[in-house]
Chain A
């Protein structure tokens, strides 16, 4: 199965050949590197730009104003913060011009911890992004969703922030990308560029016959059906939650209703509402810092609209309110939710006396 990096690469290939994506650009996005995480290797419309995040977002916005479609990359979301006013401008172009201009752009950026990236390669951006109206914000947790969300992001006439959980960049899914060859080895030989400089010179990708596959923006994935408690998350924590939920069901008979939100904005409130009305128990999990966390918004709306459906207090598990993530595994593990933290919270949620 393809890794998430390969899946996004194939989606971008589909975008440049079938969806009029004219520019895929950012720092080290073009040859010879093809992206810090190999996401943009071998693409025809990829190019390198100056080391200037404000320039990247400005360039993308201008391309969007001209009605063209592009995917811009900010190499790590840790470096996107000095572009926030530009992101706001992109998000309000349609509203401020009374509908005169659309902004059909995609900005993709790796987010979160998990690669021992220390202070400036571990930030999250989901809560920040959710506070920039006009944008749609997505974050896949599987390669297939990464493929389908990228195609939807490209097609959308509005600006889409495409957050990639960098800890899952090399993770492989259980579902094939439409058009993907049968073996991982074969796919690697086709689309992963060689590391050796001489071999790279002569290298050309052999793209599989890719197909259109869309994951609609705004629709959560119902990962596991259950009636005892609801778990809502996205990104890096999803595989952990899935594994825990599967195990607790098999070993203890606790059945969790698990949702991968996939879109942070506009989020799938109907999915959350239906589930919480069924279970009366809910936890929101993500790794962004806990103060003014996006999960806090979901908690607030749960209290406002679903209060009388709740059997026990609703919960949120998020990253600690810290200035950064320490490079030591000890420090990183206690800063963002790990499997053992999540499991403990899930069990408490499901077993608390109503």
Chain B
């Protein structure tokens, strides 16, 4: 096992190297492979103003500090499971910022995997809500204390329910994209997932359905490739050189980028979104990214020795004189304080009530949270037959 990890250049390390002014980052094999687009990056950099770069940085830091708090909460027994997106910030923050945000088919739908916290924050999501979902309190707006952390559902921004079933989001994404085939529609559908999940037939289904001549779909399929499926290295399970190559057989436009680079991610996403939005055709974008804390808490969530996109970004911001070390440090301190305060607030919030298990089994009618219609139709009087008291 250790040898396999070492071969892939991914060995967990105990010590964290989290200071914003960290030493020059040692690029992994993956990052080196994908760091060859210097020309394109310099083109993209012209599009990103200093103000926008600072906004991206601030969101990346908030997302990272949030995820590290969530991991600590899990380790302290204040949440049952952690899974999230540290390591994908350089790609996922631009994704959220570039989306056409709103509700309904004229806006972009997001079928996210569970590593989408940077995207949700970039869209305007509140970090306190992720902490609520981690602690499974009743105020968790995404699931009411029901689902794992980073399993969002935000209707006003077309973020459809996130689930743990690997790759099924690619199948649901063809449905919202199909609806967006309506004439004059400006919205597109975006689906994200990892590299390991592309082995599921659902990924192939999305390629088939999105490119069928009878109805091509405005669908941006994103694969964030961290070269691992939980503990299993990509190299041993996939004969294809790149995931994106599979799109070519269907005539789907593709791109492979270094998702650890903000400028490259921004440009590639802008280009892909523009193509899907105007051509109403699918696009397959593979972003090579790092996975900084392993798959989930199930593997202990230790810090891994991979390229840290945030540290890389901060080095570049300093070099380009966009931000000083002091300013960067201040952003970290501000976000740490914000997340700590949010965490303290959530500790005071109530857990779900036992009777809330029946809420929203079915759709709400007249403000009944779906309970009354459910109870009436199955012939149970919840007032007379309440669920048993909770153990907690």
Chain A residues close to B by CB (< 8 Å): 22-23, 47-50, 52, 54-55, 57-68, 85-86, 89, 93-104, 133-134, 157-158, 217-218, 265-267, 269-270
A–B pairs, 25, beta carbons within 8 Å:
A47-B215, A58-B174, A59-B171, A61-B175, A62-B175, A62-B189, A65-B109, A65-B161, A86-B168, A89-B172, A95-B359, A96-B153, A96-B163, A97-B142, A97-B143, A99-B370, A100-B153, A100-B161, A101-B160, A134-B362, A157-B362, A157-B365, A158-B362, A217-B377, A266-B374
Report yes or no: A61 in contact with B179, Cβ–Cβ below 8 A. no
Choice from B144, B153, B205 contacting A52 with Cβ under 8 Å: B205
Report yes or no: B212 in contact with A102, Cβ–Cβ below 8 A. no
Given contacts A48-B214, A66-B109, A66-B176, contact A157 B142 (CB under 8 A): no
Write the nearest CB–CB distance from B147 to chain A, whole angstroms.
6
- Tell me the B353-376 residues at the A interface (CB within 8 Å): 359-365, 369-370, 374
Given contacts A48-B214, A218-B377, contact A98 B143 (CB under 8 A): yes
Which of A22, A66, A104: most chain B CB closer than 10 A?
Answer: A66
Chain A hits for B214, CB < 8 A: 47-48
Write the nearest CB–CB distance from B167 to chain A, whole angstroms.
10
Write the nearest CB–CB distance from B369 to chain A, whole angstroms.
6
Extra contacts, 20 of them, besides A55-B208, A100-B142 (Cβ < 8 A), are A47-B214, A50-B212, A54-B202, A58-B173, A58-B205, A62-B174, A65-B161, A65-B172, A65-B175, A66-B109, A66-B175, A89-B163, A96-B147, A97-B142, A97-B161, A98-B141, A98-B146, A99-B370, A158-B362, A218-B377
Chain B hits for A217, CB < 8 A: 377
Tell me the bound Cα distance from A64 to B179 in angstroms: 10
Chain B hits for A52, CB < 8 A: 205, 208-209
Tell me the bound Cα distance from A133 to B374 in angstroms: 11
Nearest A residue to B138 via CB reads A98
Report yes or no: B165 in contact with A89, Cβ–Cβ below 8 A. yes
Chain B hits for A104, CB < 8 A: 363
Q: Which 10 A-B pairs have the closest CB atoms?
A: A62-B175, A58-B171, A97-B153, A98-B144, A157-B363, A266-B377, A99-B360, A269-B379, A66-B179, A102-B363
Chain B hits for A23, CB < 8 A: 178
Write the nearest CB–CB distance from B111 to chain A, whole angstroms.
8
Report yes or no: B161 in contact with A63, Cβ–Cβ below 8 A. no
Write the nearest CB–CB distance from A46 to chain B, whole angstroms.
13
Choice from B143, B160, B378 contacting A269 with Cβ under 8 Å: B378
Given contacts A66-B109, A98-B360, contact A50 B209 (CB under 8 A): yes
Chain B hits for A267, CB < 8 A: 378
Choice from B179, B205, B215, B361 contacting A133 with Cβ under 8 Å: B361
Nearest B residue to A102 via CB reads B363
Tell me the bound Cα distance from A15 to B109 in angstroms: 26
Chain A hits for B201, CB < 8 A: 54
Chain B hits for A133, CB < 8 A: 361
Report yes or no: B154 in contact with A100, Cβ–Cβ below 8 A. yes
Tell me the bound Cα distance from A133 to B360 in angstroms: 11
Binary contact track B204-237/A, C-beta < 8 Å → 1, others 0: 0100110010110000000000000000000000
Nearest A residue to B359 via CB reads A99
Tell me the bound Cα distance from A22 to B215 in angstroms: 15
Chain B hits for A63, CB < 8 A: 175-176, 178-179
Nearest B residue to A97 via CB reads B153
Chain A hits for B177, CB < 8 A: 62
Chain B residues close to A by CB (< 8 Å): 104-105, 109, 140-144, 146-147, 151, 153-155, 160-161, 163, 165, 168, 170-180, 189, 201-202, 205, 208-209, 212, 214-215, 359-365, 369-370, 374, 377-379
Nearest B residue to A67 via CB reads B104
Nearest B residue to A23 via CB reads B178
Write the nearest CB–CB distance from B240 to chain A, whole angstroms.
21
Nearest B residue to A216 via CB reads B377
Tell me the bound Cα distance from A66 to B154 in angstroms: 13
Given contacts A64-B175, A94-B363, contact A101 B155 (CB under 8 A): yes
Chain A hits for B363, CB < 8 A: 94, 99, 102-104, 157-158
Tell me the bound Cα distance from A60 to B151 in angstroms: 21
Chain A hits for B163, CB < 8 A: 89, 96
Write the nearest CB–CB distance from B290 to chain A, whole angstroms.
29
Chain B hits for A61, CB < 8 A: 171-172, 175
Tell me the bound Cα distance from A60 to B215 in angstroms: 15
Report yes or no: A59 in contact with B178, Cβ–Cβ below 8 A. yes
Tell me the bound Cα distance from A85 to B212 in angstroms: 25
Report yes or no: A94 in contact with B146, Cβ–Cβ below 8 A. no
Report yes or no: A22 in contact with B142, Cβ–Cβ below 8 A. no
Tell me the bound Cα distance from A4 to B245 in angstroms: 48
Tell me the bound Cα distance from A158 to B179 in angstroms: 19
Report yes or no: A50 in contact with B208, Cβ–Cβ below 8 A. yes
Tell me the bound Cα distance from A269 to B104 in angstroms: 39
Chain A hits for B212, CB < 8 A: 50
Tell me the bound Cα distance from A49 to B209 in angstroms: 8
Chain A hits for B377, CB < 8 A: 217-218, 266
Which of B175, B202, B209: most chain A CB closer than 10 A?
Answer: B175
Tell me the bound Cα distance from A98 to B364 in angstroms: 10
Nearest A residue to B177 via CB reads A62
Tell me the bound Cα distance from A191 to B340 in angstroms: 67
Given contacts A50-B209, A54-B201, A59-B209, contact A95 B361 (CB under 8 A): yes
Report yes or no: B153 in contact with A101, Cβ–Cβ below 8 A. yes
Tell me the bound Cα distance from A60 to B153 in angstroms: 18
Chain B hits for A94, CB < 8 A: 360-363, 370
